[in-house]
Amino acid sequence: MRGLLTHFSGVPLIATACAATALALPSLPLPANTANAAPVAAVSAATAVSGAGDPGSTRSLPLAPLSRARVLGAAPEQGLYRAGGEHFSLLGVVWDDPGAELRGQVQVRTRAAGTGAWSDWQDVETHNGGHGPDPGTAEAASRRVRGATAPLWVGASEGVDVRVRAASVPVRDGRRAAGARTSAPLPSGLRLELVDPGDDGTPPDAPAGTPHTVPDTEAARAASAANTDVAGFGALEIPELDKAATERELTRLKGPARTASYIGARPRIVTRLGWGADESLREPGLGYTRTVKAAFVHHTGSGNQYSCSQTPSVIRSIYRYHVKSMGWRDIGYNFLVDKCGTVYEGRAGGVARAVLGAHTLGFNGDSMGIAVIGTYTGTEPSDAVVTALARLTAWKLGLNGADPQGRTYLTSGGGNLYRKGKNVQLNVISGHRDGFATDCPGAALYARLGTARSAASDYQGR
């Protein structure tokens, strides 16, 4: 099996079949007793305020032909125009078949809420197929899964204009003149997704420090309980520890080491509760893999036009896009890092655990995915981003005995670089493009991974 789903109490619910032997749940418990955990703020019955804000929404609008031409029954140019009346901050285009590729260009312009000004045309990243659950897993087999572009953060908007143009390709017909070209067929069922992230659930008149939401549903309690090995129940963030405290925590979680242990100090991590995750969106249960042997670094491809104060809204939008628009069971990444270097918990299951993600198609087993929020094809990541990647990997890989500067073997679940079942040697800290033919995480971010590996190794004390 490539993963195991559990109820938050630890009782197995569903297993996804990919191999002949069952995987044991991670050895880290989900204890009610957190006497040894680092002291953090927790939700108390006396101060908790139930989130009553805007929960967010997704509008899914079918695209219409923009010309009378047809290629294999589909219009080679499709689009949609809405001058106003919408309410969204992130958008993307989806289609029916997750295995189909959109060969063409997607461009959008949006009308800002408040000012009514139209933006310039922007490109939406269409090569997004390398993200997702592994082939053959229950998550990948769900009928809700769709093909999709990367999401694009556009800020608070009320109008949108989108156009999709098929790429020009050579005609593969010996009866046609040499050099003849035609339009590539566009995937069927093209739809524009408009995502409103809502708010974090904090009432406008709430006192400072009031929890954003209360874990008052089974799904919310499960997500929060999964972190009680390192934090109090209902924590909005998991505080950083120094190296000595982290080493003591490692002993508590894993037991006394028989050989020398190398681990970096635990960084501060904003929890799902902290960024305002609506736990009712995701599927119930928590999915795990056996261990974390490697970390795949991504960029979200969602653009860099966000402020760090907007990061929770951006993450809520990506979460909603992954679940409601793309049909995944939860946000795909295990962690996210914003341009200021703040680390956020991604997929539910516990930051100290080996949570099965949907980030690197074919290599989600025994790995974790870290997404830097933004587009780093040509934009250089800040030093804060590289430091955050190094600190996070030094800690999380250290929990699992992995050397950030080492290499490891992972078994491919199938993709466009490696066939299913192939044993592949990869860097312990790899870019998405190392496991799948893609530009992700962008050339500029990929070029900094060597620095991140070296720094992570230093943080571990190697």
Which residue(s) pair with 368 in the sheet? 295
Amino acid symbol at 363: F
Residue 20: the pLDDT is 33
Q: Which residues of the chain have pLDDT under 50?
A: 1-2, 7-52
Helix (H) or strand (E) holding 270: strand 269-270
Residue 183: closest CA among 74, 66, 101, 64: 74
Task: Tell how far CA 456 is from the center of its chain.
Answer: 22
pLDDT in tens, 240-281: 999 999 999 999 999 998 788 999 999 999 999 999 999 999
Residue 213: the pLDDT is 59
Query: Residue 157 has which token pair?
Result: 């908007």
Q: How many helices (H) and strands (E) does the chain have?
A: 8, 23
Q: How far apart are CA 460 and CA 462, in angstroms?
A: 6
Phi, psi of 387 (to 5 degrees): -65, -40
Residue 68: the pLDDT is 81
Task: Output the CA–CA distances (angstroms, integers) from residue 55 to 23, 125, 202, in the order listed.
Answer: 36, 27, 11
pLDDT in tens, 50-87: 344 678 999 999 999 998 877 776 789 999 999 999 99
CB 97 within 8 A of CB 204: no
Q: Is the pTM of this model over 0.85?
A: yes
How many C-beta atoms lie closer than 10 Å to residue 39's C-beta?
10
Helix (H) or strand (E) holding 269: strand 269-270
Q: How far apart are CA 149 and CA 322, in angstroms?
A: 11
**Is cis: bond before 441, omega within 30 of 0?**
yes
CB 284 within 8 A of CB 219: yes
